[in-house]
Amino acid sequence: MVVGLNHNIRYRGEVFHIQTEDSGLANPQITTLLFIGGTIISSKKTSYADIVKIENVEKVVEELMKEQHKDMLRRLKAGEFDARIISMRTPQAPAPPKPIEPPQFTETAPKTEPSTVKPSLHEQSMDDIILSYFASEDKE
């Protein structure tokens, strides 16, 4: 019984690794992974749960593994993953900074409370100043 297949393939100046494994009769599936530099580019899983009881299951699984492994190689050589590889190798431009929005102000009327402090002369109207003058003369 074959537990796994591993190959390094040079394609377009890069080294790719194809790995195919059988998870065994307890978890009957074949998994093939395509790597570049430790990053998985593609994966394919095939269940063989429907054939686990056949007489020559080990030989059939071995053939399925080899065919799935070769299929991943064919797909790589056919250029199926080229766009994904290029996007991985192309540095992404940083996102433009978000524009700084000016703070939004809402005008509210200032709270006014009755004041016991007299406004200064430059804050009073002329009429108020005159009335205030006469009122102070009356007190004297």
Hey, what are 60's tokens? 């059939």
The predicted pLDDT at position 32 comes to: 98
**pTM passes above 0.85:** no
pLDDT digits (tens, 9 = 90+) for 12-31: 889 999 999 999 999 999 99
In a domain, 138, yes or no: no
Residue 23 lies in a domain: yes
Task: Give bridge partners of residue 19 from the DSSP assignment.
Answer: 6, 33
Q: Which residue range(s) make up the domain with 14?
A: 4-89
d(CA 56, CA 40): 32
Total structural domains within the chain: 1
Q: Is residue 116 part of a domain?
A: no
The helix (run of H) or strand (run of E) holding residue 31 is: strand 29-36
